[in-house]
Structure 1
Amino acid sequence: MIKPIVHDPLQLSTPAAPATPLDAGIVTDLLDTLRAHEDNCVGMAANMIGQNKRIIVVLMGVLPVAMINPQLRQKSQPFQTQEGCLSLTGERPTTRYQTITVDYLNQQFQPQHQQFSGFVAQIIQHELDHCNGIVI
């Protein structure tokens, strides 16, 4: 189900709790909401739809991918950039990393270990910030 977007910085700055299989419905809602905003959004975290769980979804090309309880394990090649957010107005400066390695559970709650680079890595880092209560 498509959910409204949270704009409250206080709510967005609360670190997310780990997700469990009981939170599978949040994954569906997050994917539906991302699809509804594809014209101006490439990733979302569960707190953006009012669910304080460690769940993110990221557009990888045309395919939206869910990552449950993602953990950044490695990062390399820092760079400075400007980012916007569907929950906030404007853009803000931040440091990101060109290549990252992430451990996460897929939509079936199976463990994954994957390396990402470029724009997809940047999106994942932005959404991980949301999970950690960091508002950019």
Structure 2
Amino acid sequence: MIRSIVKDILFLQRRAEKASRKDAADGRDLCDTLAAHSEDCVGLAANMTGSTKAIIAVKDGNRILLMYNPVIVKASPSTYETEEGCLSLSGRRPCTRHDWIEVRYEDENFHKKKKRFQGWTAEIIQHEMDHLEGILI
């Protein structure tokens, strides 16, 4: 189901709660909503669609990667400055991102995974994981 994008700053600043199998519908809705906004969006965090759970969906090439309870376990010492936009906020804002990150997460079937991401995909994941911490750029 495609959900509306939340723009309420106080809601977006709340820290996400751990997701479980009971939250699979929120994950599917997040993917549907990202697909519906594919022209102007490359990632979403669950709080952007009204859920309080730790779930993100990001474009990874031609597919949507769904992550439950993602945690960055390692990050490159090298960083870069960039500007990012957000569907929940107007305009673009400066931020600092790591060149690569290693993330532990549960996939769409709640199987544990660990993977290294770099470049554009790593940047998207870092942005969405900030949302899970209530951090807005």
SS in 2 for 1:96: strand
Residue 86 (structure 2) aligns with: 85
Q: Which residue of 1 aligns with 2:50?
A: 50
In structure 1, the residue matched to 2:107 is: 106
Mind listing any 5+ residue stretches in structure 1 that lack a counterpart?
Answer: none
1:130 to 2:131 alignment: yes
CA distance in 2, matches of 1:73, 1:54: 16
State the secondary structure of the residue aligned to 1:48: helix
In structure 1, the residue matched to 2:41 is: 41
Aligned length, in residue pairs: 136
Identify the residue that residue 20 of structure 2 maps to in structure 1: 20
Where in structure 1 do 4 or more consecutive aligned residues deviate above 6 Å? none
CA distance in 2, matches of 1:84, 1:9: 15
What TM-score results when the alignment is normalised by the length of structure 2?
0.98
Q: Give how far 1:80 is off.
A: 0.7
**Secondary structure at 1:51's aligned position in 2?**
coil
Q: 1:2-17 to 2 correspondence within 5 Å? A: 2-17=2-17
1:62 deviates by 1.3
How far 1:89 sits from its partner (Å)? 0.3
Which residue of 2 is the match for residue 31 of structure 1? 31
Q: Once the 2 structures are TM-superposed, how far is the Cα of residue 28 of structure 1 from its aligned partner?
A: 0.6
Identity among equivalent pairs (%): 47
**Which residue number corresponds to residue 65 of structure 1?**
65
CA distance in 1 between partners of 2:63 and 2:47 (Å)? 21
| Stretches of structure 2 lacking an aligned partner (at least 5 in a row) | none
Cα deviation, residue 32, structure 1: 0.4
SS in 1 for 2:72: strand
Partner SS state of residue 83, structure 2: strand
Tell me the distance in 1 between the aligned counterparts of 2:119 and 2:91.
Answer: 22
SS of residue paired to 1:33: helix
Secondary structure of the residue aligned to 1:72 is strand
Distance 1:39 1:94 in 2: 23
